[in-house]
Structure 1
C-alpha cells in the first residue's frame, strides 16, 4: 500500500531518457518514489491512502535554486536600486541590527515563496554575500534552519567566515539594546562547526549545511595587502578542507575573470565546489571548471549578469555542470525559477543573436537534475525515478497563458510562472495543496515578516531607503551620471 498516488498527469520524469508520460502516474511510499509509469500500470500495481488527480497538470521534479541569499527577503527593494544604499542596508542588518527572530521570520517568508513557486530545494547564503555572513553565533543559523523546517522545504544553508581583515564588529540585541563585540575568523569557524553538527543531514536530509569563503578576485589581491591576503588564502584552504572532510558543498559567491584560476591555485576546486556568477571567464578557466568537476551557479537575472557574462553554453560544451540560481531575493528579482529559466534562454540567445541556443529542455535540466548534481544530491532528487526522494510538483496547465494543451513541456518552460504551481510534495509530504501551504499559516508568516522588518528599520534608521527614488519616473536612466 502506497501513501500517495498521483494519477492522470503529464509526467516529466527528467530521468536519463527524459521520458514524458502523457497519462502518467507516480506512487510514493514514505519519503520515496516507488513507481513511475502510465496511470494504468501504476494503479494496477499499487493502491494508496491518498490519490491526487493530476488531470490537466504537469507532474515534475521539484525545482532547485542553486544560489540565493537568506536575509534578503526582508531587505528587498530598500535603496530603490542604489547599490551602495542596498549594501549599507544589508551590512547593518546582517551584522548589528538583526535578531534570531529576524532570521526565522525571513527564512519562513523565503521558504514559503519557494514552496509556492515549486522550488523544493534551494541554496541560501546566511547573509548578503561573502563579506557579511551572520556567523558570529550559531543562534542565527539555528533560527534560519528552524524557519525553513517549519515550512517544509529543503535548504542548503551556506555559512563561513568574512573576508579579512578581522576582527569584524557584530552586535547582539537584547531588551532593545545592541551590545557590540569583535568577531574573528576562529569564532566564525567554530560557529560553522556547531551548525554542521546540529543541522547537516537533519530532518530526513531536508536541512543541510554548505561552507563558503570569500572569493578572491584580482581587486582583492591588489588591495588586501600581503598580510591579509595570506590570511584569506589560509582561511579559504582551511574551510574548503573542512567541507571535504565533512562531505559538504563548498561554495563561493561572485566569481569573475581571473578568480577561478586563483581558486585553482589554492586547490579549493573539485566536485563539491559550486561557484556562483562566474562571469567573463577565460578559456583557461572554462577548462579548469570542466577538468576539476566544479559546478557553476548561473544567475541570469542578477546584476552581475548585466556587468559581465557567464559563458554557459561554452561551459556546457566543455563538459562542465551548470545550474541556475535566482540570486534572490533582491531589488529586482524573486525566487521564481520559471522566470529565471526564461531569462536564461533570452540572455544567451541575445548574446549570440541566435534563437537556437539553450533549448527549453536544457534549461529545465539546469533547474532539476543538473542542479541536484551541483549539490551532490543527484542520487536523491532532481528527477522522478524509483528509489529517489519524493519531491514532486504539480503545475496547473489549465490556464489561459498555457492553453491549448499541446507541446506541454515547451509551454511549461516558455510560459509558466510560479503562480501556476498547484501542489507540492517534499520528502513524501504534501506541503502545498491547491496553492495553500499546509504546515504554516501564510498570514502569520507574512505578519511576522512585516513586524521583524519594521523592527529592523527602527534599529538601523534606514526608513529613508523606502522612499521612491527621485529618478523613478520620467527618466531613461536612474542615475545622475553624465556620459559624454
Structure 2
C-alpha cells in the first residue's frame, strides 16, 4: 500500500476533469499539497494507507470554487450609502483614497477571506480598491496589509494593483491617529508601488499579483481632454507591457460602451487578459473576445448586470472563456458563489425566455475549471484530478433543502448555498471543518472588522450613510436615482 496524508472516502465526487466524471461512493487521495488519485472508494481503500481518513458519506465533493472578480475593501462598507441618494461611489472614492488605514485593509482582507473560506471559495481575484479607477496604490503599505491579512487565513488570492485614470496627480491621504496628511500621487508613483507589490508578493505562498488599468470607454474619449486621453492610452500600454514582461494576469473592471474595441485598438487583449462585466457588447466585440482568446469575468449579481447584460451565452457559443465573479460583497451581495451560479442561470434564461439555456453543469464549470483557465491556473486548480493542487470542498447534503439524496450534481448546483459547505481543503491543508475555521480566530476577525468599520464611519463622518433611506418601506420604488454601475 502507498502512504498518503489524507483520504476522503464515501462521497459523490464531481471531478470537473476532462471527462467531467461524477463518481458515486468516490474517494480522493492526497499527499502533501497534491491529489494523487481520484476513484471509487473501494479501490482507493485497497491502494492507499492514509494518515487520516475523512468519511464523506452523504456529502458531495467539488473543486474549490473560484471568484474571478471582486474588490478589496468592500467587505467593510457593505450597503453603505448604496440607497441614500446613490452616494455609494462617492463613499468608495473617499474611503479608499483618503479615508482608510493599513489596519482597515488588513481587517477587511481577513473578513473577506474568512467569508470565502466559509463558502468554499478557495481562490479569488481582489482589486485593491473599488470601481475601475479607485486604486489604493499610493503607498505599498496598504497592499502589504491586504496580502498579509489574506495569507493568514490561507485562501488563494490574485491581488490586482495598478493605476487610476488621468488626470494626475490625484490626492491621497494617510492617517496618524486622528491627523490626516494629504499628498499628490502621480501615475509614476502608482506604477512604482505596483512594481514593488509584484516583486514582494507574486507567487509568495498562495498570493499572486495581477496588474490593471482603468477601462477606456466611448464617454472617456468624448469627455476627457485630448492630452488626458492620450496619457491614459500610454499608461495602459505601459502597465500592459509590464504584465506581459512579468507573466501575470492583466485585468480591467467595467467593460461597456465600445471599450472592447478600444482595448483591441490599444493592443491589450489576449489569453492573459481578463475583462470584467463586459455588458452590452456588440456582435463585433463578441468576435474580438473569442478571436483574441481574451477571458471574460461575468458578474450576474452586480449592479452592472442590471444596467446592461453581459452576453455570456453568446460569448460561450463563440468559443470564449467566461468565468463567474461576485463583484465583491458590496454594495448588495456576498461571496457565495452558489448564489451567483444560480443567479447566472436565471438571469440568462429570463433574457432568452428559455429554461434550457446554461445547464447547471456549465455554470459549475464557470466557477471552477473555466475560472481557473481565466486566471491561467487550470494546470494547478479547478478540477479534482491526479497531479493538481488539493483544493477540495465538501458539501453536507444531509439537509432538508438538499434532500432527497438523488441527482446530487443537480442538487448541489440548483439548491446548495455557501452555508452548506462542511469542509474546505487548500493545498492539502484542512482550513474549514464542520463549517468552522480551523486556524483562523473567527471572533477576533469579526471584532477587528467591526472596529475598523466603525473607525472609518467616524473618520469620514459617514454615520448618515448607515441609516434607512426614505422609501425603504412602503413604496414600490425609491423616489431618487439609483446607483451607477459598480
TM-score of the two chains, using structure 1 as the length reference: 0.98
* Pairs within 5 Å for 1:368-447: 368-447=368-447
1:76 equivalenced with 2:78 (yes/no): yes
| The one of 23, 26, 31 aligned to 1:24 | 26
Deviation of 1:470 after TM superposition, in Å, equals 1.1
CA distance in 2, matches of 1:49, 1:257: 56
2:213 corresponds to which residue?
213
2:44 corresponds to which residue?
42
Deviation of 1:359 after TM superposition, in Å, equals 0.3
CA distance in 2, matches of 1:426, 1:142: 22
Deviation of 1:481 after TM superposition, in Å, equals 6.3
Q: What SS is found at the alignment partner of 2:271?
A: coil
| The one of 118, 124, 127 aligned to 1:122 | 124
CA distance in 2, matches of 1:393, 1:327: 22
TM-superposition CA deviations, 1:278-319 (whole Å, max 9, x none): 001011100100011100000001111111010011000100
1:133 equivalenced with 2:135 (yes/no): yes
CA distance in 1, matches of 2:172, 2:481: 35
1:293 equivalenced with 2:296 (yes/no): no
1:350 corresponds to which residue?
350
2:7 corresponds to which residue?
5
* Pairs within 5 Å for 1:240-389: 240-389=240-389
CA distance in 2, matches of 1:256, 1:93: 25
2:98 corresponds to which residue?
96
Deviation of 1:480 after TM superposition, in Å, equals 3.4
CA distance in 2, matches of 1:2, 1:107: 33
Report if the CA contact (8 A) 1:58-1:397 is conserved: yes
1:223 equivalenced with 2:212 (yes/no): no
Q: What SS is found at the alignment partner of 1:290?
A: helix
Moved more, 315-324 or 172-181: 172-181
CA distance in 2, matches of 1:83, 1:297: 29
Question: Per the alignment, do residues 83 and 297 of structure 1 end up closer, same or farther by CA in structure 2, a change over 3 Å counting?
Answer: farther
CA distance in 2, matches of 1:221, 1:439: 50
Deviation of 1:131 after TM superposition, in Å, equals 1.3
CA distance in 1, matches of 2:298, 2:184: 35
| The one of 158, 183, 192 aligned to 1:190 | 192
TM-superposition CA deviations, 1:185-204 (whole Å, max 9, x none): 0000000110011110011x
Q: What SS is found at the alignment partner of 2:28?
A: strand
Deviation of 1:92 after TM superposition, in Å, equals 1.3
RMSD of Structure 2 on Structure 1 (CA): 1.0
- Stretches of structure 2 that go unaligned for 5 or more consecutive residues are none
Deviation of 1:53 after TM superposition, in Å, equals 0.7
1:169 equivalenced with 2:171 (yes/no): yes
Deviation of 1:257 after TM superposition, in Å, equals 3.1
Deviation of 1:85 after TM superposition, in Å, equals 1.0
TM-superposition CA deviations, 1:232-274 (whole Å, max 9, x none): 0000001011111111110000001310000000000000000
TM-superposition CA deviations, 1:31-66 (whole Å, max 9, x none): 110110011111211111111111111011000001
